[in-house]
Amino acid sequence: MKIVSILVLVAMFCRGAAIAQETGKQQPSAAPATQKTEPSPAPGPTASYKIGPQDVLRIDVWKEPDISRAIPVRPDGKISLPLLNDVQAAGLTSMQLAAVIREGLAKYITNPQVTVSVTEINSRRVYCSGEVLKSGALTLLPNMTALQAISSCGGFTQFAKIKSMYILRVEEGKQVQHPFNWREVVKGKSPDMLLQPGDVIVVP
């Protein structure tokens, strides 16, 4: 009987050791590494963006390096290209301008492949002037308001007359003053103003 008991105990001990060894092998799976998301690139001009004076364009004509170039739009809204001389660019989208250049080059080059991209937007600007902390030009963002522009200029100096502000805007060839009472706007008593290219916010 003693021998049988010893054999039973030995068998139980061996079985327990085997179970412990198997348990040790089963390590919990590592948590999947968190995938890093790369930041999205800053949005550029959309396909519907209309080129304006002082914008900088990149014009590429396939297999024509003498024509391909980076070129600014002149104040009159035109650009100059070999073979074509002056080409109207302002008021067109990049795809429309590419089609115009393609049509003009077709007289000299067989099936020209043209791409146009806007590399710098300089035509859509507004300006802060007077008693603001940072006067100068700002890039006009979509649906940008006067309050947003003033915030981008750092706010007012201690001498600013915020009730006597106005926005200068060219309408039908004439410069027009639009009163802008900052205090009433922030209180909701007067509407904020959507800005247009070339607007000047004047803070006396």
CATH at residue 96? 3.30.1950.10
Q: According to the model, what pLDDT value does residue 56 have?
A: 95
Same domain, 114 and 138: no
Same domain, 141 and 195: yes
User: Helices in the chain by DSSP H: which ranges?
Assistant: 2-25, 94-105, 146-152, 182-186
Q: Which residues contact 156 (CB under 8 A, 6 or more apart)?
A: 131, 132, 133, 150, 162, 182, 203
Q: Which of 88, 120, 152 is the last residue of a domain?
A: 120
Query: Is residue 168 domain-resident?
Result: yes
Task: Write down the pTM of the prediction.
Answer: 0.60
Query: Is residue 62 domain-resident?
Result: yes
Q: Which residues contact 40 (CB under 8 A, 6 or more apart)?
A: none
Residue 106 has pLDDT above 80, yes or no: yes
Confidence band of 103 (pLDDT split at 50, 70, 90): very high
Same domain, 91 and 140: no
The 10s digit of each residue's pLDDT in 78-90 is: 999 999 999 999 9
Q: How many CA atoms lie within 13 A of 51 on its CB side?
A: 30
Query: Is residue 72 domain-resident?
Result: yes
CATH at residue 180? 3.10.560.10
Same domain, 140 and 172: yes
Domain range holding 186? 125-203
Same domain, 110 and 71: yes
Which has the closest alpha carbon to 162: 179, 137, 175?
179
Same domain, 185 and 115: no
Number of domains in the chain: 2
Same domain, 95 and 152: no
Query: Is residue 33 domain-resident?
Result: no
Q: Which of 71, 104, 120 is the last residue of a domain?
A: 120
Q: Which of 120, 136, 158 is the last residue of a domain?
A: 120
**Average pLDDT of span 111-135:** 94
Q: Write down the mean pLDDT value for the chain.
A: 83
Q: According to the model, what pLDDT value does residue 48 have?
A: 85
Same domain, 134 and 81: no
Same domain, 103 and 132: no
Residue 130 has pLDDT above 50, yes or no: yes
Query: Is residue 42 domain-resident?
Result: no
Query: Is residue 112 domain-resident?
Result: yes
